[in-house]
Chain A
Amino acid sequence: MTVDKTDMTPKYAALRHTAPPELHDRVMAAVRQEASMPPVFMIFYRRFAPMLASFILGIALTFYVQTIPATDRVANEVVANHVRSLMAQHLTDVVSSDQHTVKPWFNGKIDFAPTVKDFASQGFALLGGRLDYLDNHTVAALSYQHAKHIINVFIAPDAGDDTALKHLSLRGYNLIYTRKSHMAYWLVSDLNAQDLQTLTALVVQ
């Protein structure tokens, strides 16, 4: 192809500007400097590394805060529910020491059937039952009295395996958490831990 014939002497070759000699050195200096520069991602990395690190740390902290003290958070709710039940005079929706009155009362209000028993002979008298709200779920709440102490028992279904009793103490209240036969139990009271454990043994059979 004639149009692709290269490097015939051009018509106006005499008009060609030649680069000043120092341009050669200037260009090479610039290229060498460019070659010694860290690659773009390194610059990016150095500039944004602190930001990235704090971002990751922030996310890690968020997950830490959200996941680790899950039971502590529920424990706080348990205490709050307990305190509220005492101060608002809303301890019970169904006032009865008769377990055969309390237990049917839950029918149609919750989708599980908590074990309701009166332990008056062992010193824990059933006061009644009510609905409460715990850890984003409607739960059954039973109230017992031991001497002058009121004990709240929260019962909710839980798919987890059985666990041993877990003792907590929060703002002067004693708490016991346990799981048995796919039911979770939270007991809370200003009662001493020993007596609370006695009731736990009775409730969780």
Chain B
Amino acid sequence: MSRPQAVARFEHLCLPHLDAAYNLARWLCRDDSAAQDIVQESCLRAFKAMGRFDEQHPRAWLLTIVRNQSYNWLKKSARQVRLDDLEDDTLVELSDATDTAIETKQDIEAVRAAIAELPEVFREVIVLCDIEGLPYAQIAKIISAPIGTVMSRLSRGRGMLKKILVGTNHDR
């Protein structure tokens, strides 16, 4: 593959998912400039690895790199919450409470803050599924875990989210 071809291929396959990449990095790092750096670095890596690019799922492929880069950044800045540190192991039943909760601008901000509070492992599945709209199978690929894990983390994450939101509502 010639170089201009490679650049064109990158533009065609990766660039449309720049928002998705930025969204994930931004949600994981909670830092705008770090997210931009991570997206740039991830895109470079994706470009260098163009040869083994998964054309079927370019978004999942790019997001896998972004996720790894984000975790590296988190590790470096020691902001990561370890999964072992989490105590709440109960699965929380899903309800429609969170669906109806974001009707006003204020509610959006509340959910935003609530998601930001979640530990990374839950935040990333919420971001990938509920914000980005990726199918479970692709999320499983990105976080390299079985679909069952994706679903249980989603369910736990949503439950935690609900708890946080209900808590803030009570405070009001």
Contact = CB atoms under 8 A, between A and B. Distances in A.
B82 interface: no
Interface string B34-68: 01100110011001100000000000000000000
A25 to B, nearest CB: 11
B137 interface: yes
A19 B39 CA distance: 9
Contacts of A31: 7, 10, 43-44, 47
A78 to B, nearest CB: 64
Interface in A1-43: 1, 3-20, 23-24, 26-28, 30-32, 34-36
Contacts, number: 97
Contacts of B44: 30-31, 34
Interface string B84-107: 000000000000001100100000
A32 B133 contact: no
B27 A3 contact: no
Contacts of A24: 15, 18
- The bracket for how many chain A residues form the interface is 20 to 34
Interface residues of B, number: 42
A16 B137 contact: no
A11 B98 contact: yes
A12 B22 contact: no
A13 B6 contact: no
A34 B35 CA distance: 20
A9 B43 contact: no
B155 interface: no
Most buried by B among A3, A7, A12, A20: A12
Interface in B111-156: 111-112, 115, 126, 129-137, 147, 151
B21 interface: yes
Given A5-B135, A12-B131, A19 B115 contact: no
A14 B3 CA distance: 38
Contacts of B112: 15
A13 to B, nearest CB: 7
A35 B47 contact: yes
B36 A26 contact: yes
A11 B99 contact: yes
Contact of A19 (B18, B48, B133): B18
A11 B10 contact: no
A18 B99 CA distance: 22
Interface string B1-30: 001101100110001001101110011000
Contacts of B7: 31-32, 35
Nearest to A24: B18
A88 B146 CA distance: 88
A13 B3 contact: no
A23 B18 contact: yes
A36 B44 CA distance: 13
Given A9-B133, A34-B44, A17 B15 contact: no
A3 B147 contact: yes
B129 A10 contact: yes
11 contacts: A3-B137, A6-B133, A11-B131, A13-B131, A15-B111, A15-B112, A16-B19, A19-B39, A34-B44, A35-B3, A36-B3
